[in-house]
Every structure is written in C-alpha cells, then in structure tokens.
C-alpha cells in the first residue's frame, strides 16, 4: 500500500503544489462565446500526449506529492477512450496516494459516462452551465443542446456524483437569471459557483469588455433577495464562498479580476500537449513532452521528467496580471482557456 507522499513541489513563495489540472484535449463539442471562436483550428493529433503518456505524467506528479487531479479540456469527455484514463488514474485513489480525482465538463456526455466515472472513483463533477433557457443556451454555446446537458446532470446525480454548477457571469446574457439559477441548484442539492470572464484567447467577433459582468455587482444583485454570509470555507482554489441564509446552500465566487486569489495558489496546469503552465494568467511554461519524448530509456526519462518539473515549479510566478480597470483588457494571455483548461 502506497503511503501519502509529503509535498515535494514547493515554489519560491513557499506554496506547496498539491493540485494538478490536466487538459486532456483542446477539442470540444460546444463553441461557447467567451471560450472559443466559432472556427477553431485544433492541434494535430500527433502533438497530443497519448493517454499512456498522460497517465505517466500524472503518476509522476502524484509521486511528487500532488493529492488532487482535475481533468478538464476542451471537453474532456470527447477524448477517445478517456474512460481508460480515468480507470488508470483511479488506481492511485485505491492506493491512498491521491485524495481526489475529479473533472470539469460541459455535461453533454455525462449521460453516457456518469456511471463509469463513478466506478473509476470520481465522486464530484463540476458542470458548466450558464443558463436554463434553451434559446439562450444555444446562443451562448453555439453548438450545444440544453436538454442533453440536463439529462447528463440527472445521470450524474443518479450515479451518486455530487454536482457543482459553474456559471460564467455574462452581462446582457445571463445576468437576469442568477436568482433562478440559485433556486434551481438549491432544489437539486447542488452548489453553485459564479465565474468572471477572463481575458484568454482570441474571440473572433466577441468583445471581452462587452461580456464582463463584475461579481461585485452580481453579488449585490443576489443580496437584494437572499441573505449572504461570507464563510471561511476554502477548497484550496480561488473561490470565496457565501452561505445563503434562506436555503443553506453554498455559493462560490471566482473573481480573478476584482480580487487576486494568487496568495494561496496550490496548483499548476498541464496542457494536452504536455506544456506545464505554472500560472493560468502568465505565458511561462515548461515543455514536459519534449522531455518525455527525448529518446531516453525509461529510468533516465523519469529522472529527467522529475528534474524538469522541479525546475518549472521554481519558476512559478507570484500571480497573474489580469486587469480590466482602465476599460481596456490588460494582462491578456494569448491562449484560450480550452488550451490550459478552466
Ligand atoms: N468543457 C468543459 C467545461 O465547459 O466545463 C471544461 C473546459 S472549460 C474551458 C472550463 C471552464 O472554463 C468552464 O466552466 C468555462 O465556463 C470556463 N471558461 C472558459 N473560458 C472562460 C473565460 N474566458 N473566462 C472565464 N471562464 C471561462
Ligand atoms: Fe467547450 Fe467548455 Fe470552452 Fe464551452 S467552455 S467551448 S464547453 S471548452
């Protein structure tokens, strides 16, 4: 039986890196307005890490003290054979080396996969859902069908998965629905987290400032109907949580732009091509695929990989520089959220 590994990845600001988010694909069956342009050029398949390589990389991170893995994308559940990968990683839950295996999904494939995800050891899923209105859903996701996502959420709950809804706050799109979303989540026993739009990647016609709805304003609007009390609940992530007096449910707010959440950052992000990003909002990365495919024998490759990871963590920056304050999008990073994973 493997015993828990003490964190070995400590960054220059003394933050222990215990959380890895892994994007397993840049592809998606939706084209959300704030995330992708309608015409996207995706990576050639040969550039992607194979699922075996992803398993090897995640296993190395777990050996180095990572306790939580979140699988994301693009849409993680559209990657071929992804259930194989979940099963493989599930062995680390069984051994006690990993505390949690979870995913962020748009929900479109959950009807098919919820049961098998639960069997692999997944206990919680984050489902991204910005509206409960069919026509609006179509407009925001461009290619999605609301009914399919709602079926997926049903299947996840039936399979015993805890569902948290993530909603991106969008001015003029879903700002009139926040009370309805809160009530709907309460009726279904689901937590809800609101997210501010972040300046990531080219959007085609869409304009960030047009989409941006401050969560300060959103919370003030919620407070006109609900009593919100801030809690000290933390998941090690960027969200701040409030308790709704009337329903008892927990509402999260992820506010990268109005509050900086970097001091307690415990995470790094791996792209589907094996680039390790030490910060969501900075461009510096480490090419782990190059190390893995460098032609070394397996023992030397593993040693080189560990060294590369340590070196990358020693470069983790203090924080991001996103800033909308002067009515311009400052600190923008060039890659889409679907590259680094949300
Ligand atoms: N396809 C999956 C999904 O939608 O949940 C996983 C990947 S998606 C990139 C992860 C999260 O990032 C979603 O909750 C999505 O709403 C959010 N997201 C995408 N682009 C964003 C942006 N520019 N600003 C803020 N959140 C964004
Ligand atoms: Fe796809 Fe998720 Fe991006 Fe929407 S937010 S386009 S579902 S990756």
- Dihedral sign (CA 120, 122, 128, 129): positive
Q: What is the pLDDT of residues 10-61, one digit of tens each?
A: 999 999 999 999 999 999 999 999 899 889 999 999 999 999 999 999 999 9
Residue owning the nearest CA to atom 4 of ligand 2 = 32
Average pLDDT, the chain: 89
CATH number at residue 180: 3.20.20.70
Q: Is residue 12 part of a domain?
A: no
In the chain, how long is the greatest CA-to-CA distance? Answer: 63
CA dist., res. 18 & res. 68, Å (int): 6
Tell whether ligand 1 has an atom less than 6 A from the beta carbon of residue 18.
Answer: no
Taking the CA of 38 as reference, the closest ligand is 2
Q: Is residue 7 part of a domain?
A: no
Ligand 2: which of 74, 103, 149, 197 to mutate, judged by most atoms within 8 Å of the beta carbon? 74
Q: Is residue 64 part of a domain?
A: yes
Q: Residue 201 belongs to what domain range?
A: 19-340
Residues with Cβ within 8 Å of 274's Cβ and at least 6 positions away in sequence, in order, are: 49, 53, 57, 287, 288, 289, 290, 292
Q: What is the pTM of this model?
A: 0.91
Q: Is residue 5 part of a domain?
A: no
Ligand 2: which of 21, 34, 35 to mutate, judged by most atoms within 8 Å of the beta carbon? 35
Q: What is the pLDDT of residue 281?
A: 72
Q: What is the pLDDT of residues 134-177, one digit of tens each?
A: 999 999 999 999 999 999 999 999 999 999 999 999 999 999 99
Q: pLDDT confidence of 234, banded at 50, 70, 90?
A: confident
Taking the CA of 335 as reference, the closest ligand is 1
Q: Is residue 35 part of a domain?
A: yes
Tell whether ligand 1 has an atom less than 6 A from the beta carbon of residue 35.
Answer: yes
Residues with Cβ within 8 Å of 1's Cβ and at least 6 positions away in sequence, in order, are: 95, 96
For residue 337, report the distance from its CA to the centre of ligand 2, in Å: 8
Strands 240-244 and 285-287: unpaired
For residue 104, report the distance from its CA to the centre of ligand 2, in Å: 10
Q: What is the pLDDT of residues 182-222, one digit of tens each?
A: 999 999 999 999 998 876 555 555 555 577 888 999 999 99
CA dist., res. 333 & res. 315, Å (int): 18
Residue length of the chain? 342
Q: What is the pLDDT of residue 322?
A: 54
Residue 236 has pLDDT above 90, yes or no: no
Q: Is residue 283 part of a domain?
A: yes
Q: How many domains does the chain have?
A: 1
User: Angle between the 134-141 and 146-158 helix axes, to the nearest 10 degrees?
Assistant: 100
Q: Is residue 8 part of a domain?
A: no
Q: What is the pLDDT of residue 198?
A: 77
Q: Is residue 322 part of a domain?
A: yes
Mean pLDDT of 312-335: 64
């Amino acid at each position: 039986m493997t015993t828990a590994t003490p964190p070995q990845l400590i960054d220059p600001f003394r933050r222990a890196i215990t959380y890895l988010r892994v994007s397993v694909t840049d592809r998606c069956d939706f084209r959300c307005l704030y995330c992708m342009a309608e015409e996207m050029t995706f990576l050639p398949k040969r550039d992607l890490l194979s699922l075996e390589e992803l398993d090897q990389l995640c296993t190395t991170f777990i050996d180095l003290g990572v306790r939580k893995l979140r699988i994301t994308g693009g849409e993680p559940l559209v990657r071929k054979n992804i259930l194989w990968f979940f099963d493989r990683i599930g062995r680390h839950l069984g051994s006690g080396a990993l505390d949690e295996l979870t995913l962020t999904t748009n929900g479109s494939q959950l009807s098919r996969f919820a049961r098998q995800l639960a069997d692999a050891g997944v206990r919680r899923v984050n489902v991204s859902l910005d509206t409960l209105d069919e026509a609006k859903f179509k407009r925001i996701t461009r290619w999605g069908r609301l009914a399919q996502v709602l079926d997926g959420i049903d299947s996840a709950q039936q399979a015993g998965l805890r569902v948290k809804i993530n909603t991106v706050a969008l001015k003029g799109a879903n700002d009139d629905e926040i009370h309805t979303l809160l009530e709907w989540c309460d009726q279904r026993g689901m937590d809800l987290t609101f997210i501010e739009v972040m300046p990531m990647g080219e959007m085609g016609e869409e304009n960030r400032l047009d989409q941006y709805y401050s969560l300060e304003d959103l919370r003030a609007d919620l407070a006109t109907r609900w009593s919100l009390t801030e809690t000290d609940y933390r998941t090690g992530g960027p969200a701040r949580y409030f308790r709704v007096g009337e329903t008892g449910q927990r509402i999260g707010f992820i506010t990268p732009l109005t509050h900086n959440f970097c001091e307690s950052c415990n995470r790094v992000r791996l792209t589907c091509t094996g680039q390790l990003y030490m910060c969501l909002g900075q461009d510096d990365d480490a090419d782990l695929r190059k190390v893995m495919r460098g032609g070394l024998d397996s023992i030397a490759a593993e040693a080189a990989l560990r060294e590369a990871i340590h070196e990358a963590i020693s470069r983790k920056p203090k924080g991001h520089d996103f800033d909308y304050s002067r009515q311009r999008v400052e600190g923008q990073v060039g890659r889409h959220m679907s590259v680094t994973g949300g």
